[in-house]
Structure 1
């Protein structure tokens, strides 16, 4: 396949989520024409809070969107870890200015919808990036005309678009992943996340300010401010058999309260502060599977959906976007080789982060002697030492 034939065609990105939009901006900065397709008719503001650690912010700064995100972000001074059994604090982890001074970028908490909106606005304002909704990529085929054809479905009509590469950024239930031989299907973890947000002034002041992590047998709780500190994000996680492919199913408050029936009263009162709970089944795609095949590459959840117990899912997708673009400069002669190089570059790091997340899923839900040992170690740890445990994750930059 000649370089000249490929040069006149765009890169198609399937999925207009965080990873897909970040990849569009990063690849456009390399000079490529970009088409982003998404099966949704409209990009709805759904999802939950997420954490943008310094490694993610380093990429977002390079993409030119960090300043636009600042009004929607919240930077907690600390993460406080509590026992869901006794209600007592176990440890404090330094964040805020400590992590910013250490790594050169902030540690922010932000709503997924705010991040997606800022990325979308940047993409739509960038010449050379086209966003097409109601278009789901279903196949990629070779043609006799020295380029590839991306097959998509648009309002029940099949269309095609010439392209030089297809990037699957279409999430944990990725359709593009099916085009990669030997791919791994999403695996249900046996855990479900219930999520809501409430105005911060409607809950007691003890829930404002620092982020919180509560640990208990078979359940745990995460909470932190969002949107400049105006809202509180609450995520309650529990071992449960419910499975569904949506991440915005309606949830019943009474069902949630039963799962947290032996928790401290103050926590149960917090859970009662909202009648608008949504839930999603926590699924993962193991990072050891293949991410690329010919002119196709996967990024983000399509390649390596991870459990949220290291709060790095969005960050890894954003990192993927930067490294993918780094391996695809304008005029790349051998795109399949470049995509394989991207996969090799990313796989060990993402696998390590994913394995930490898997480990935390077990550790957070310990009971008995294991829980006692975990809690004892936390009580004896210094706030700064807990923060520096993940220097290799938070200190990463797009140049690495």
Structure 2
């Protein structure tokens, strides 16, 4: 018996919306369930390296993204031990020439809004806000997906269900209840300030990575360069779930004391009026990617530390690979769907694990102290910009 050509996606985040566009481009009808009544900003800025931007360009999002995205000219690697910049890695046109796609920094809300606008313009995608995924059952015609909108409970037939519903995924809980997120012992603080608040040397079009003893911070322009996004990473025991808990600025500044942290870094931290914090959790590497006609995508299956700036990038890659494996004749039967989803997981597992491990290792390197921090700084300077960039080629140059 032929199965439905309808695919349900739980979650209208970056991964879910990208998957909807990629699957619709393969001829599927897609329904996206999002429990939020409105798509609102969760988090602040993010980095889209060429491996991710290439996919968004191919999905036709260039014009929508260029309105808010910033193309940074460089990444400045800064060390508190050295008191300033160790190395500057060229981006901008150099990134396009090297990897064939732009390196963008963008407000998460701007990216989500661009994806949502593209989704809403597509005749084969149905975005249902205020729709909470509740249950799924397999049968001869495919799947019955149950969701709730307000007081109304609705059931629909689909060929595939994709869980793109984040680290606390309800779909993953349904499939693999034994897989639980793990707290990393680190807390991320985020905030923004207007670029006009500080001199241009603090707010130029570059990504600044400040490495220090037990903590680090990243700053870069968003919103067309009008704002600076700041993310500070510190150790701690506070581990409540969520993305947007208000944070006490005095508590944060205590983690970045003078003279250990130079004036330019502290000045950026002080420029932020309102801080939000979230505990950094990860999903264990052994999580399965699919079961039958149900698969996971993005943070639901591989939430990782943000120290490789690839959380969004890996979700976007997942979406493209998933669409590739489900395209063609892969949905002629439940068995062929299950096989295609297994192939999708096998195609993604090794690369994502390598990125997860790279992120953990980089976080450890950023936080070194004493002689190890000195050795790190000397090694970075010795490598130079070209060799440092070459170490990222395996991430940035990825293509389908």
Give the TM bin, normalised by the shorter chain. Answer: over 0.9
- Residue 30 of structure 1 corresponds to 26
Structure 1: state its 5+ residue gaps.
none
d(CA) in 2 for partners of 1:373, 1:32? 53
d(CA) in 2 for partners of 1:10, 1:78? 43
Q: Does 1:328 align with 2:330?
A: no
- Residue 385 of structure 1 corresponds to 387
Is residue 177–residue 183 contact of structure 1 (8 Å, CA) maintained in 2?
no
- Residue 249 of structure 1 corresponds to 245
Matches within 5 A, 1:27-106: 27-106=23-102
Shift of residue 156, structure 1, vs aligned partner: 4.7
d(CA) in 2 for partners of 1:368, 1:274? 29
Shift of residue 255, structure 1, vs aligned partner: 0.7
- Residue 161 of structure 1 corresponds to 156
Q: Does 1:115 align with 2:117?
A: no
> C-alpha offsets along residues 213-264 of structure 1, whole Å, 9 cap, x if unaligned?
0111111010011122111111111011111211111111111111112322
d(CA) in 2 for partners of 1:27, 1:312? 22
- Residue 285 of structure 2 corresponds to 287
The 3-state SS of whatever aligns with 1:60 is helix
Matches within 5 A, 1:1-400: 2=1, 4=2, 6-7=3-4, 9-143=5-139, 146-181=141-176, 184-209=179-204, 210-262=206-258, 263-332=261-330, 333=332, 334-398=336-400
Is residue 183–residue 290 contact of structure 1 (8 Å, CA) maintained in 2?
no
The 3-state SS of whatever aligns with 1:55 is helix
Is residue 91–residue 381 contact of structure 1 (8 Å, CA) maintained in 2?
no
d(CA) in 2 for partners of 1:204, 1:118? 31
Task: Name the TM-score, length of structure 1 as normaliser.
Answer: 0.95
The 3-state SS of whatever aligns with 1:19 is helix
Is residue 12–residue 34 contact of structure 1 (8 Å, CA) maintained in 2?
yes
Shift of residue 181, structure 1, vs aligned partner: 3.2
d(CA) in 1 for partners of 2:249, 2:82? 23
Q: Work out the number of aligned pairs and report it.
A: 393
Larger CA deviation: 362-371 vs 111-120: 362-371
Is residue 81–residue 374 contact of structure 2 (8 Å, CA) maintained in 1?
no
d(CA) in 1 for partners of 2:141, 2:316? 31
Shift of residue 130, structure 1, vs aligned partner: 0.3
The 3-state SS of whatever aligns with 2:123 is coil
Question: Structure 1 141/324 Cα, relative in aligned 2: closer, same or farther at 3 Å?
Answer: same
Shift of residue 203, structure 1, vs aligned partner: 1.4
> C-alpha offsets along residues 172-204 of structure 1, whole Å, 9 cap, x if unaligned?
111101122375311111111111111111112
d(CA) in 1 for partners of 2:172, 2:375? 41
Is residue 143–residue 159 contact of structure 2 (8 Å, CA) maintained in 1?
yes
d(CA) in 1 for partners of 2:390, 2:308? 14
CA RMSD between the two structures: 1.4
Is residue 182–residue 289 contact of structure 1 (8 Å, CA) maintained in 2?
no
d(CA) in 1 for partners of 2:321, 2:311? 16
> C-alpha offsets along residues 80-121 of structure 1, whole Å, 9 cap, x if unaligned?
111124422222222221111011101111111000000000
Shift of residue 330, structure 1, vs aligned partner: 4.6
Shift of residue 59, structure 1, vs aligned partner: 0.6
Is residue 81–residue 92 contact of structure 1 (8 Å, CA) maintained in 2?
yes
Question: Structure 1 33/183 Cα, relative in aligned 2: closer, same or farther at 3 Å?
Answer: farther
d(CA) in 2 for partners of 1:84, 1:370? 13
Is residue 288–residue 347 contact of structure 1 (8 Å, CA) maintained in 2?
no
Larger CA deviation: 127-136 vs 311-320: 127-136
d(CA) in 2 for partners of 1:282, 1:93? 27
Shift of residue 46, structure 1, vs aligned partner: 2.7
Task: Name the TM-score, length of structure 2 as normaliser.
Answer: 0.95
> C-alpha offsets along residues 306-360 of structure 1, whole Å, 9 cap, x if unaligned?
1110000101000000000000115423111110000001111111111100111
